[in-house]
Structure 1
Amino acid sequence: MSLSVAFEISMVLTSVCAVLLSGWLLWQGQRQRAMPALAGFAAMMALWCTGHIAIVQGWPVLGVALILANPLMPMFFLHFALQFVATPEAGSGGWRRRLPWLYALTILLIGLSWFGPGGKITTTAGFDAFFVFADIGWLNLLYTILLGVAAHLVLFQGWRLHSGNKRRSIVAMFMAGGWGLLLATSFVFPSLGLNWYPYPMLLLPSYLLLLVYGVVRYQVLEINAFANKALIWLGMLLLVLALMALVSALLGQLGMQALSAVPASQLWLYSTLLLLLSAACYQPLSKLARRLIYPGGQLNESLLAHWRSKLQQCNSWHELAALAAGLLSGQLRQKVSVQLPLAGRANPGLQIHCLRNEHGWYYALKGWDDVTPGYRLQGEVFAALLLSNCRILEQSLKLADAERKRLDQQHLVELGALSAAMAHELRNPLNIISMAAATTPAETRQHIQQQLKRADRLIADLLSYSGRLELQYSDFLLKPLLQAVLSQQDWQGVQCQLQVPDGLMLYGDSYRVQQVLINLTDNALAFCRNQPQAEIKIEAHSEHDHVWIYVHNNGPAIVPAQHAALFQPFVSKRAGGSGLGLAIVRRIMQAHGGEVCHQSDLGWPVSFVLKFTLNVKQNLGLQLPHQQDMTNG
């Protein structure tokens, strides 16, 4: 094949690609304001290549006119660059007003080049006819270069202003521009008197593809799929051309003179047409093969999008299992059951199991061995999609549960503050009632005073549980404190034993510890006062850096059902109590860094065990006196 034919093929490919890309950019880039100008650039490149083809084919007037229209190519590119890098902050009014004048100047210069004359036809290496610049045509070339430089200066300014994908696009344009400059330089060799064949121009199709792809690959996602297919078919085309050249060389060696006499250009043309026909038939043949291999219902993007949107609307496991079973059953026209970890039940027939283990989620299909491959494929795809929604639902439920707990905690804090405020406010009317009762008969006054004391005790318990707990630490003897507590009780025949070493010291808030012991002895008296031979025993000892206090009584045992929630408020409420006594005990013990528990295996029906830490002073940094502010909880 002659060099002239190779050049002509290159120009045809560049022109065809430019026309296709121009149309595609106008169609796909309607929402991208810069794309029409880039489409104009591609269209002008197609006309420029067509001009070279016209000269080779013997139409010099048309060819020279199309080549001299070259300044419109960088003009469109400059227009594109200005729109591409424009930002809302910078505005675009100035250059928008100047663009029409620049287009007018470009067209005027092209007209002058046509009548100049701006070019002529000459003979050069590999060509009987090739374009060279003459007279005003050199001004045409200089103006074209200046427009190209201006466009790249605009891009450079945009590179400084932008980041991300737009900046990557600008870098791609610079790289493609350098490649294009290298290829186009050979076009002016004959005009400079250099009798060189313009080999680089044979690669011009690659320049246009690289430029447009580099610009839009980050802006229009569809072109990435188009470029992927285009590269595959281009590779196949080059492979076919290489094979045809090899076959053409071997046919003569094999004695097939008639076939070897066929021009290589015709073999390549036939091969290219065959490849294009294969590309056109690929999609329908692929669908036909899919229907033959996977008979039954077919998958498509719209169906997958429908499944995905429906499954994402579910807010519970039961809802997800029911909806998933309904969607796939309707698609396959067969009963399908879906089993999830917290919902769904496997029925006989087709089953999808979505399960979770320590490694994550996985699915299993059961009962699908006898279905057609098409149905099996749909089951696999649907199960994978369902598995993804299981992960999403699991995360959303965890977030919802955490938010619910946060709101509950916030509600408890607000309720505690409200309770403390109400308790304080209730004491004022109670004081007024107490003063008003001073003039009533003695029996009535005594009854009122008893109820006021009960109300005051309830308020005190409510404040202790819901208010701020401040600890005033000090060292104190435990036995005198216990004796003071016992002296305040109305024993009414209940026997009490106290076994505490005389020198046993405790470090803590003596008032709060006294409150703990009063609550425990009050509870013990309330439950064992009416028992025959009622007895309460309090003992204490130190062991392994801890002080242990035991409060035993022989009253009725606490039922096992109440053990787990014994120290919760309002759980084990005795007659006349507030239901907060044991909850207050636990809170005070926790504030001291200690523990409280109930036991029934110490030889008594009911035993409460208090555990204090002796080295709490070291833990608090030996700060005396020390205050700890403990909020509710």
Structure 2
Amino acid sequence: MSLFNAFELSVWVTSVCGVLVAAWLVWRAHRKADLRALAGFAVMMALWCFGHLALFHNLQTLGMVLLLANPLMPTFFLHFALLFVNEGSAKGPWLSAIANHIGWVYLTSIMIVLYSIWVGAGDTVALMDGRPFFVFNELGAINLGYTVLLGVLGHVVLIVGWRQHSGNKKRSILAMFGVAAWGLLLATSFVFPSFGINVFPYPMLLLPSYLLLLVYGVVRYQILAVNRFANRALLALAMMLVVLCVIAVLGAFSGRIGLQALNGVPIWQLWLYSLIVLLIAAMVYPWVRRFSERLVFPGAVLNEQILESWNRELNKADSWEGLIAQGEQLLTQHLRQPIRIAFSGNKTSEALHLTLQKEPSGWFVQPHHTEDLSPGMRLTLDVFSSLFATRCEALERSLALAEAERKRLDEQHLVELGSLSAAMAHELRNPLNIISMASYNSPADTRRHIQEQLARADRLVSDMLVYSGKLTLQLQTVSLKPLLGSVLSVLNTEQVLMTVQVAEGLQLQADPHRLQQVFINLIDNALAYVRNQSDGSICIEAHYEGQDLVCRIHNNGPALDPSIEQEDLFRPFVSKRSGGSGLGLAIVRRIVDAHQGKIEHREDLGWPVSFECRFPCQQNSQL
């Protein structure tokens, strides 16, 4: 292949690429004016290349018109640069002014083109095999100078944008400057003949790369699909270069290794044949791959669309139950047989199933009883298991974040409730004190009744302050039996049989004031139910149990309403006993939780009502 033929082929490829790139940009523009301006630049570059081809084939007039329209190419580029840079919040006043008057720039460019055609600003010289090649004459200095000026101005606009923007926009501008340097190297050889330098324009053989690299640098961060195409194109180019190198080496040594027939074939024909074979192989590769996959893994139908569909459906689940149900449905539909998914340790009656297991390294999904499955179905299960494990990790993080946010909102609510309760306590106690003083001269029975109700109201206010306020602990070593003795001394235990089964020496790290409040609330609550019984009895027992100190308070009062759940029992205002505030057990729960303990109601200890408190003997050092 002669140099002229290589040059003509390069120009043809550039012209076709310009038209295809322009059509693709218009298709993907979606109201983006900058991409439409870039499409105009691609069209003008295609026409400029077609002008060279017209001269090669003796279409003198058409070729001169297209080549002298050269200023329109940087005009479109300047328009694109203004729109690309002057987008978003980073707008410059002088850039906006130029963008608003870009029509005048187009008009000026058209006038320069018409003037150049009218005065005949271009000539031809015989550069390659006697074929004509375009050069500017003396009258073409205006055309050439104006073209260079617009190109420089377009890149100045990009420099301003590079300083104003950040992130992907800045990276795109930097990529455009790299491509601009490459384009300058290629274009320099075009103007050599205009200055009397009779050198073959070797760089123009690589002209197709300029337009493709420029468009890729612009849209790679805007249209992500182009990156997949670029990856495939780069792979194809690398394979082509490898083939060219192998053929070159083979051609150089074929005579020495006895391949005389191959040695007689021109190297360019070997390259051409090899590239054609490579192109055919690339075209049939997807079908061959699918055929081999179905041959090796019969029954497996996996592709990117299916994987994306699985991932999309699994991402909709916001709970473990929903995720498992969605996974079972997807697998059942794909494999056409029932598949169950269960956590490790949960028994399932299904022979074929998947188990979920949390390990230190992350989630692990293991298929079971796959011996009778085809290789394709096993492959499907393995791929789905990997995808499902990834989704389990994402769901776990999502639920943890949601729980942390819920706790934060709960703490914020308690702070607000504490402030409100403190304000209410202040506002309520003032009128209560006034009522108390006003009842001083009332009859004895009336005064006693008022005082009882006032005491009840004061207790309710105090309980609200304790429950809603910030709970801080002052930890110290507490002897349990003396503490219980002080609690019983302040409570009215008449007509009730009190039994204390607490050994001497039982101790724990706790806040004595808060712990005293726990026992007062629990014992007072029991007294309220057994005081009016003839055989009322309360038993307090405590002992060590492993690493815990267990304290139980029993009473033989009426059993609790079976409709009240264990968890609801410790919620505020669940209690129905006469005179109660409904906050006693809720306060106990808060204090026990603050000590890293646990409280629960039990019915299996031989008493109608039993409350069990467990306190760890070794407290957390952060308390």
**Superposition TM-score, scaled by structure 2 size:** 0.71
Pick closer, same or farther for the CA change 1:193–1:284 going to 2, 3 Å: same
Contact 1:528 1:555 in 2 (8 A): no
Is 2:293 aligned against 1:300? no
SS of the residue 1:467 aligns to: helix
Query: What's 2:227 paired with?
Result: 224
Match in the other structure for 1:398: 400
Partner of 2:87: 87
Q: Could you tell me how far apart the structure 1 residues matched to 2:3 and 2:554 are?
A: 116
- Aligned partner letter, 2:81: A
Matches within 5 A, 1:28-47: 28-47=28-47
Structure 1 residue 155: Cα displacement: 1.3
SS in 1 for 2:316: coil
Residue in 2 aligned with 1:68? 68
| Counterpart-to-counterpart distance in 2, 1:491 and 1:162 | 82
Judging changes above 3 Å, is the alpha-carbon distance between structure 1 residues 44 and 523 closer, same or farther for their aligned structure 2 residues? closer
Report matched runs for 1:606-621 at 5 Å: none
Structure 2 CA distance, aligned partners of 1:361 and 1:493?
Answer: 57
1:241 aligns with 2:244: yes
Query: Is the CA contact 1:7–1:201 (under 8 Å) kept in the aligned structure 2?
Result: yes
The whole-number CA distance in structure 2 between the counterparts of 1:96 and 1:263 is 54
Residues 196-211 of structure 1: matches in 2 within 5 Å? 196-211=199-214
**Any idea what the Cα deviations from partners look like across 1:338-377, whole Å, max 9, x if unmatched?**
01369x7533332111211333211111122332232222
Structure 1 stretch displaced more, 317-326 or 246-255: 246-255
Q: 1:142 aligns with which of 145, 164, 174?
A: 145
Residues 1:408 and 1:422: Cα distance change in structure 2 (over 3 Å):
farther
Greater radius of gyration (CA): 1
Q: Which residue of 2 aligns with 1:368?
A: 370
Q: Is the contact between residue 351 and residue 367 of structure 1 (CA under 8 Å) also seen in structure 2? A: yes
- Is the aligned partner of 1:166 residue 2:164? no
Q: How far apart are 1:328 and its partner, in Å?
A: 0.8
The C-alpha deviation readout for 1:518-553, integer Å capped at 9, x for no partner, is: 998999999899999x9x9xxxxxxxxxxxxxxxx9
- Output the amino acid matched with 2:457: I
Contact 2:19–2:42 under 8 Å retained in 1: yes
In 1: Cα distance, 2:427 partner to 2:532 partner: 33
* Preserved contact between residue 570 and residue 589 of structure 2 (Cα < 8 Å): no
Match of 1:458 among 451, 456, 459: 456
Distance 1:383 1:554 in 2: 52
Cα displacement string for residues 411-434 of structure 1 (whole angstroms, at most 9, x for unaligned residues): 697499298579749947975995
With over 3 angstroms needed to count, the CA separation of the structure-2 counterparts of 1:380 and 1:422, relative to structure 1, is: farther
Partner residue, 2:385: 383
Per the TM alignment, residue 154 of structure 1 is displaced from its structure 2 partner at its CA by: 1.5
The structural deviation recorded for 1:312 is: 2.9
Q: CA deviation at 1:57?
A: 4.7
Contact 1:22–1:43 under 8 Å retained in 2: yes
Deviation at 1:306, TM superposition (A): 3.2
User: Is 1:195 aligned to 2:198, yes or no?
Assistant: yes
CA displacement, residues 152-184 of structure 1 (integer Å, 9 cap, x when unaligned): 111122222222111111111112112211221
Task: Give the CA deviation at 1:145.
Answer: 0.6
Match of 2:122 among 119, 124, 131: 119
1:582 to 1:187, Cα distance in 2 relative to 1, 3 A: closer
**What is the aligned partner in structure 2 of residue 546 from structure 1?**
none
Matched residue, 1:349: 351
Residue pair 1:528, 1:556 contacting (<8 A) in 2 also: no
Say if 2:463 and 2:581, in contact at 8 Å, map to a contact too. Answer: no
Could you tell me which residue of structure 1 aligns to residue 620 of structure 2?
Answer: none
> Post-superposition shift, 1:222?
1.3
Scaled by the length of structure 1, what TM-score is found? 0.70
Query: By how many angstroms is 1:464 displaced?
Result: 3.5
Task: Supply the distance in 2 between the matched residues of 1:125 and 1:588 (Cα, whole angstroms).
Answer: 94
Cα distance change of structure 1 residues 144 and 423 upon mapping to structure 2, 3 Å threshold: closer
Corresponding residue for 1:99? 102
The separation in 2 between residues aligned to 1:493 and 1:213, in whole angstroms, is: 89
**SS where residue 177 of structure 1 aligns?**
helix
> Partner of 2:70: helix, strand, or coil?
coil
From the superposition, tell whether residues 180 and 433 of structure 1 become closer, same or farther in structure 2 (CA, over 3 Å): same
Quote how far apart the aligned CAs of 1:103 are.
Answer: 2.2
Find out whether 1:417 has 2:421 as its counterpart: yes
Q: Deviations over 1:64-111 (max 9, x none)?
A: 443322222212211211111123564887445533332233233223
CA distance in 2, matches of 1:514, 1:180: 83
Say if 2:285 is the partner of 1:282. Answer: yes
Q: Aligned letter for 1:296?
A: G
Q: Report the count of equivalent residues.
A: 552
Q: Does 1:337 align with 2:335?
A: no
Check 1:66–1:273 CA distance in 2 against 1; reply closer, same or farther (3 A cut).
farther
Q: 1:266, 1:581 → 2: CA distance? A: 94
Secondary structure in structure 2 of the residue aligned to 1:352? strand
How far apart are residue 465 of structure 1 and its match?
A: 2.9
Q: Is the 8 A contact 1:51 1:64 kept in 2?
A: yes
Per-residue CA deviations over 1:570-618 (Å, capped at 9, x if unaligned) read 99x999885899989989999xx9x9x9xxxxxxxx9xxxxxxxxxxxx
Question: Deviation digits for residues 449-499 of structure 1, max 9, x if unmatched?
Answer: 66555434433433433337999xxxxxxx9xx99x97998979999xxxx
Q: Tell me: CA distance 1:108–1:293, structure 2 relative to 1, closer, same or farther (3 Å).
A: farther
Partner-residue secondary structure (3-state), 2:138: coil
Q: Which runs of 5+ in 2 are unaligned?
A: 473-481, 499-510, 540-552, 560-565, 600-609, 611-623
Residue range with higher mean Cα deviation, 223-232 or 11-20: 11-20
2: CA distance, partners of 1:252 / 1:518: 104
Q: Is the 8 A contact 2:521 2:588 kept in 1?
A: no
Letter in 1 for 2:43: A
- Distance across 2 between alignment mates of 1:322 and 1:431: 63
Amino acid at match of 1:109: I
Deviates more, 1:391-400 or 1:77-86: 391-400
CA distance in structure 1 between the partners assigned to 2:271 and 2:587 by the alignment: 96
Q: 8 Å contact 2:493–2:527 — kept in the other structure?
A: no
Matches within 5 A, 1:453-492: 453-467=451-465
Distance in 2 (CA, whole Å) between partners of 1:581 and 1:308 is 47
1:199 positional shift: 2.5
Give the counterpart letter for 1:76 in structure 2. Answer: F
Q: Whole-Å Cα distance in 2 between the matches of residues 51 and 338 of structure 1?
A: 67
Q: Which amino acid aligns with 1:290?
A: E
Structure 1's 403 and 246: CA in aligned 2 closer, same or farther, altered over 3 A? closer
| C-alpha distance 246-98 of structure 1, shift in aligned 2 (>3 A) | same
Q: Is the 8 A contact 1:531 1:555 kept in 2?
A: no
Q: Decide whether the 8 Å contact of 1:362 with 1:387 is kept in 2.
A: yes
Unaligned runs of 5+ in 1: 439-444, 472-478, 496-507, 537-552, 598-605, 607-633
